[in-house]
Structure 1
Amino acid sequence: MPQASAPERVPRGAPPDGDGVAIGGGPVVVDAYIDFQCPFCKQFEETAGPALDRLVASGLATVVFHPMAFLDRLSTDHYSSRASASSGCAADGGRFVPYARALFAAQPPEGGPGLTDEELVDVGDSVGLADPAFARCVVARTYLDWSAYVTFTAGRRGVAATPTVLVDRAPVPANPRAITTAVTALSR
């Protein structure tokens, strides 16, 4: 159930308000609201992911990923919530971005079951999350409350679809050119 207050535990790399995972340390903040069940988010990752990597690597931007459970209703086993929670476990292991990319690559179709918890662990293993702590975190669903909080907070901010991208809190089209242009303009 969505909650208004921050959960007791947030993943490593969470911003001060706890509703995502921050990558990089650049001055311009890019907020990316995603759902691992969302086909458009998969397309966003495939097209914009390299541009986001470049913005972080160049020191221009901090990208805050907000893995929402927006599409739970389109799976039979709350896959969006479980995938979001497992991404928190990946953040604890320092592998959020490669894990998120691997989840999108393994994205199940809408309307049925998502990956099982064991398959979520296997996805982690494929990107270097072989530490048993990761598997325990996923199977225990440690970050389900965090996932609900991320989703609740996004809704409170007016996010009604995924992917949604904000650059310094201003909405921009979820494509690499628009994001890069907005970040570059704010960096001058």
Structure 2
Amino acid sequence: MSKGSRDRADKARRIVEQQKAAEKRRKVTLWTSVAVVAVLIIAGLIGYTTLSKQDSASTGALVTPSAAADEGTAFAVGTGPITVDIYEDFMCPICNRFEQQSGATLKSYLTSNKITLRYHPVSILDGASNGTKYSTRAAGASAAAAEDGKFTEFHDVLYANQPEENSDGLSNAKIIELAKSVGLTSDNFANAVNSGTYEAWATKVTETFASRGYTGTPTIVINGKQLVGPGDTLPTDALLTQTLDKAAG
């Protein structure tokens, strides 16, 4: 074989070997990538399962209070012909403002048997309590109060002692202490607060609130129609009274 032929043969052999090496590297890279993806998928599934279990454990089983009305989402006071629904968060300062502004008005309509007042305790402000989930805990505690026949009294004492947004909120011990001041002294109530019996229910109420198209608290609904002030503001007591009187005919 001539020198030129040997050179061409050597060059061809090197090209083949390079191609084989490149193919081998490609296969190694491919299978390494597949292995990495598989590991990530498995890790993701494990992580999802773990988080799901943690979420389930933290939320607990759904226990709907026997006293709840409106598909188990509210506590009804009164039996009047006009239905007033109030969606509220016990951490919400605007809810407290509405309570101070119009709470007495609503109570007067209850006394004259003109309205059925349905309170929906929601928990949209858990993020404003430094991780203590105060909105959820307070809503759950209100359910326990309703089961003991003291929802309105407990509702009022929570607002009278409302913590500031972005604080830790009230501890369970403080909630129980305030409850005792309005006659909630049973072990059932204290146990429900400490064990979070109705916290999953509070989450369910909040989900129902969102599914009905509401986004903020307080949301006031009279006979199925949301009441808001000009520019989507909090309705004044005068507007609330006017609307209720019109509904009464």
TM-score (norm 2): 0.70
Unaligned runs of 5+ in 1: 2-6
After TM superposition, give the deviation of residue 34 of structure 1 in Å. Answer: 0.5
Structure richer in helix, relative to its length: 2
Give, in whole Å, the separation in 2 of the partners of 1:65 and 1:32: 5
Give, in whole Å, the separation in 1 of the partners of 2:66 and 2:240: 25
Whether 1:121 aligns to 2:176 is yes
After TM superposition, give the deviation of residue 183 of structure 1 in Å. Answer: 2.1
Q: Which residue of 2 aligns with 1:57?
A: 111
Please state whether the residue corresponding to 2:166 is helix, strand or coil.
coil
TM-score (norm 1): 0.91
Deviations for 1:1-35, whole angstroms, at most 9, x for unmatched residues?
7xxxxx85322431140111111111111010110
Decide which structure has the larger Cα Rg and report it: 2
Residue 32 of structure 1 aligns with an amino acid whose one-letter code is I
Whether 1:183 aligns to 2:244 is yes
How many residue pairs get matched? 183
After TM superposition, give the deviation of residue 48 of structure 1 in Å. Answer: 1.0
Deviations for 1:58-113, whole angstroms, at most 9, x for unmatched residues?
11111111111010011121000000000001111111111111111111111121
> Given that residues 33 and 163 in structure 1 are in contact (C-alpha distance below 8 angstroms), is that contact kept between their aligned partners in structure 2?
yes
Unaligned runs of 5+ in 2: 1-54, 56-60, 229-234
> Given that residues 12 and 21 in structure 1 are in contact (C-alpha distance below 8 angstroms), is that contact kept between their aligned partners in structure 2?
no
Whether 1:101 aligns to 2:156 is yes
Pairs within 5 Å for 1:165-176: 165-173=220-228, 174-176=235-237
> Given that residues 62 and 198 in structure 2 are in contact (C-alpha distance below 8 angstroms), is that contact kept between their aligned partners in structure 1?
no
Q: Structure 1 residues 43 and 10, CA, compared in 2 at 3 Å: closer, same or farther?
A: same
Give, in whole Å, the separation in 2 of the partners of 1:176 and 1:89: 30
